[in-house]
Amino acid sequence: MYGGEFDGNAAFAGGGFMPSQATTQAPDFSSAFKNRDVRTLLPLTLKQLNSASTNGESNFSIDGVDINTVSIVGRICRMENRITQVDFVVDDGTGCADCVRWCHERQETEEMEAVKLGMYVRLYGHLKSFQGKRSVNVFSIRPVTDFNEIVHHFTECMYVHMYNTMPRGGSIPQATATPRPQMPYSTNPTPAKPYQTGPSNQFPNQFNDQMHGVRQTVLNYLNQPMHLASEAGVHCDVIARDLRIPPLQVKDALEQLSNDGCVYSTMDETCFKSTANA
Amino acid sequence: METSSPAAFVNGALLRRYIGQKVRAVVQVIRSDIGSVIGKSTDEQQIVIKGSPNQPLTIYLEVIGIAETENTIRAEVWTNFGDSFDAQNYNELCKLANGEFRHLFI
């Protein structure tokens, strides 16, 4: 699907990160995700982590999103060095979490040596459950040196919670051809988030906000993986043709998007590419 | 895992809600006395922090401890937050963590 020609069927058929049409229409996102190998990276407060629901040994979910990798910022309040691993407890002020960092390689040992009791750390790991006891299997950890990172982390937790719990989707007429990536927040680019929020975007070509709708449609089009992957960008006439929008409107929309920093022109002033993932 | 004692993010105004409970606050250090530190909360109120830090303090300081009165915290943990820290952002975080997003924190 990364070929030259735009193939609508391929783009919407569910390859890559795009939801299948069935997913788009299904209101129950959590079950739709279960069958897919979703690799989420969720920033969580430890209160969220400890209240995540579980349906088995190591299947956790929160806000309807399966938990895979978590990102935590907190203070190390207990630490115990063992032969093959370091056991420690992180406290972020909202709760505590037991963590394990296995140290087999030299690099892992060195990374762990930089971390001391009482330090603020940022860590990434997998949430595990063993005999009903939850712990985080850490695979990356580093001391926090700029303490604004703490504020940033919690702000991100709130944002992601809001992102995953706000009502999304709804009935999108197929003809408008605006794929709405309904993936959970993850390391994959979630293009141009500000444009995806708010109920007005659900009906891009209606109401008196028509120019905004065209902008959104064009941006969604350029945010498709195949267009993000293209070096040269997409010619404005091709966009107009594929989206069945008059070329002048497309040009206006591209100019506004360009001014907003959402897209940029590539080889000349007629080919455009989204700034997402650029 | 324990969730026994969360420490609420507070600024000067929010401190009075948590008297007798565990809080965390970032202050700008004004001066250090014996047995206490006078600081300015992120919403620019004067706060007295009881206790003695075991290290020289930077301009910004985070304390975790018990809210004793509406302007006193008995500190248990002192963490230097360096000389450049965005107090305004922290102040907004305090408001969100005690407001709309409280359920993620406490």
Asked if B52 has any chain A CB less than 8 Å from its own CB, the reply is: no
For residue A32, being part of any structural domain is answered with no
**Residue B86: per-residue pLDDT:** 97
**Residue A160: per-residue pLDDT:** 94
**Residue A119: per-residue pLDDT:** 95
Residue B104 to residue A46, Cβ atoms within 8 A:
no
pLDDT tens sequence across B6-52 = 999 999 999 999 999 999 999 999 999 999 999 999 999 999 999 99
- Taking the CA of residue A84 as centre, how many other CA atoms within 13 Å lie in the half-sphere pointing to its CB? 1
Whether residues A129 and A185 share a domain: the answer is: no
Whether residues A134 and A176 share a domain: the answer is: no
Of A50, A151, A154, Cβ closest to residue B1: A50
Determine the straight-line distance between the first and last CA of chain B, rounded to whole angstroms: 15
SS (H, E, C) chain A: CCCCCCCHHHHHCCCCCCCCHHHHHCCCHHHHHHCCCCCCEEECCHHHHHHCEECCCCCEEECCEEECEEEEEEEEEEEEECCCEEEEEEECCCCEEEEEEECCCHHHHHHHHCCCCCCEEEEEEEEEEECCEEEEEEEEEEECCCCHHHHHHHHHHHHHHHHHHCCCCCCCCHHHCCCCCCCCCCCCCCCCHHHHCCHHHHCCCCCCCHHHHHHHHHHHHHCCHHHHHCCCCEEHHHHHHHHCCCHHHHHHHHHHHHHCCCEEECCCCCEEEECCCC
Q: Which CATH number goes with the domain that contains B25?
A: 2.40.50.140
- Residue B28 DSSP SS3: strand
Local confidence band at A188 (pLDDT 50, 70, 90 cut-offs): very low
Local confidence band at A166 (pLDDT 50, 70, 90 cut-offs): confident
Question: What percent of chain A shows pLDDT beyond 70?
Answer: 69
For residue A154, being part of any structural domain is answered with no
Question: Which positions in chain B touch A158 (Cβ < 8 Å)?
Answer: 96, 101, 104
pLDDT tens sequence across A199-217 = 333 444 444 456 778 888 8
Look at A132 and A116; give whichever has higher pLDDT: A116
**Residue A39: per-residue pLDDT:** 74
| Cα–Cα distance for residue pair A219/A102, rounded to 1 Å | 44
Asked if B96 has any chain A CB less than 8 Å from its own CB, the reply is: yes
Q: Which of A104-118, A156-170, B7-21, B74-88 has the lowest mean pLDDT?
A: A156-170
DSSP single-letter state for residue B104: H
- Phi, psi (deg, nearest 5) at residue A207: 65, -175
**Residue A183: per-residue pLDDT:** 47
Question: Which positions in chain B touch A134 (Cβ < 8 Å)?
Answer: 1
What is the average per-residue pLDDT within A138-147? 96
- Residue B38 DSSP SS3: strand
For residue B76, being part of any structural domain is answered with yes
Of B62, B77, B86, Cβ closest to residue A148: B86
Domain boundary residue, one of A149, A182, A198: A149
Residue that has been written with the tokens 């700029």 in this structure: A146
Highest mean pLDDT among A77-86, A178-187, A200-209, A258-267: A77-86
Asked if B83 has any chain A CB less than 8 Å from its own CB, the reply is: no
Residue A95 to residue B6, Cβ atoms within 8 A:
yes
**Residue A54: per-residue pLDDT:** 80
Q: Which of A42-51, A57-66, B55-64 has the lowest mean pLDDT?
A: A57-66
- Taking the CA of residue B31 as centre, how many other CA atoms within 13 Å lie in the half-sphere pointing to its CB? 2
Whether residues A176 and A122 share a domain: the answer is: no
- Supply the range of the domain harboring residue A200: 8-27+170-274
- Complex ipTM more than 0.90, yes or no: yes
Q: Which CATH number goes with the domain that contains A127?
A: 2.40.50.140
For residue A274, the cross-strand partners are A263
**Residue A78: per-residue pLDDT:** 94
Question: Which positions in chain A touch B62 (Cβ < 8 Å)?
Answer: 147
For residue B3, being part of any structural domain is answered with no
pLDDT averaged over every residue in chain B: 93
Q: Which CATH number goes with the domain that contains A204?
A: 1.10.10.10
Whether residues A119 and A65 share a domain: the answer is: yes
- Supply the range of the domain harboring residue B56: 8-91
What is the average per-residue pLDDT within A253-258? 88
| Cα–Cα distance for residue pair B102/B95, rounded to 1 Å | 9
Neighbours of A5 (CB within 10 A): 7
Question: What percent of chain A shows pLDDT beyond 90?
Answer: 33
Closest Cα in chain A to B77: A118
Whether residues A45 and A19 share a domain: the answer is: no
Asked if B8 has any chain A CB less than 8 Å from its own CB, the reply is: yes
**Residue A170: per-residue pLDDT:** 47
Local confidence band at A48 (pLDDT 50, 70, 90 cut-offs): very high
Q: How many structural domains comprise chain A?
A: 2
Neighbours of A85 (CB within 10 A): 18
**Residue A169: per-residue pLDDT:** 56
Q: Give the torsion through C-alpha atoms of A160, A161, A162, A164, to 10 deg.
A: 80
Question: What percent of chain B shows pLDDT beyond 90?
Answer: 93
For residue B73, being part of any structural domain is answered with yes
Whether residues A212 and A121 share a domain: the answer is: no
Helices (H), B8-106: 12-15, 87-97, 102-105
**Residue A30: per-residue pLDDT:** 47
**A111 has pLDDT over 60:** yes
Question: Which positions in chain B touch A154 (Cβ < 8 Å)?
Answer: 9, 93, 97, 105
**A179 has pLDDT over 70:** no
Distance from CA of B99 to the nearest CA of A (A): 12
Highest mean pLDDT among A52-66, A172-186, A252-266: A252-266
Dump the DSSP string for B10-26.
--HHHHGGGBTSEEEEE
Give the burial string for B71-102 (b: 16+ CB within 10 Å, else e).
Answer: ebbebebbbbbeeebbbeebbebbbbbbeebe
A263-265 β-sheet, strand order: A234-235, A271-274, A263-265
Asked if B53 has any chain A CB less than 8 Å from its own CB, the reply is: no
For residue A165, being part of any structural domain is answered with no
- Phi, psi (deg, nearest 5) at residue A98: -80, 135
Domain boundary residue, one of A91, A117, A149: A149
For residue B99, being part of any structural domain is answered with no
Q: How many structural domains comprise chain B?
A: 1
Whether residues A211 and A263 share a domain: the answer is: yes
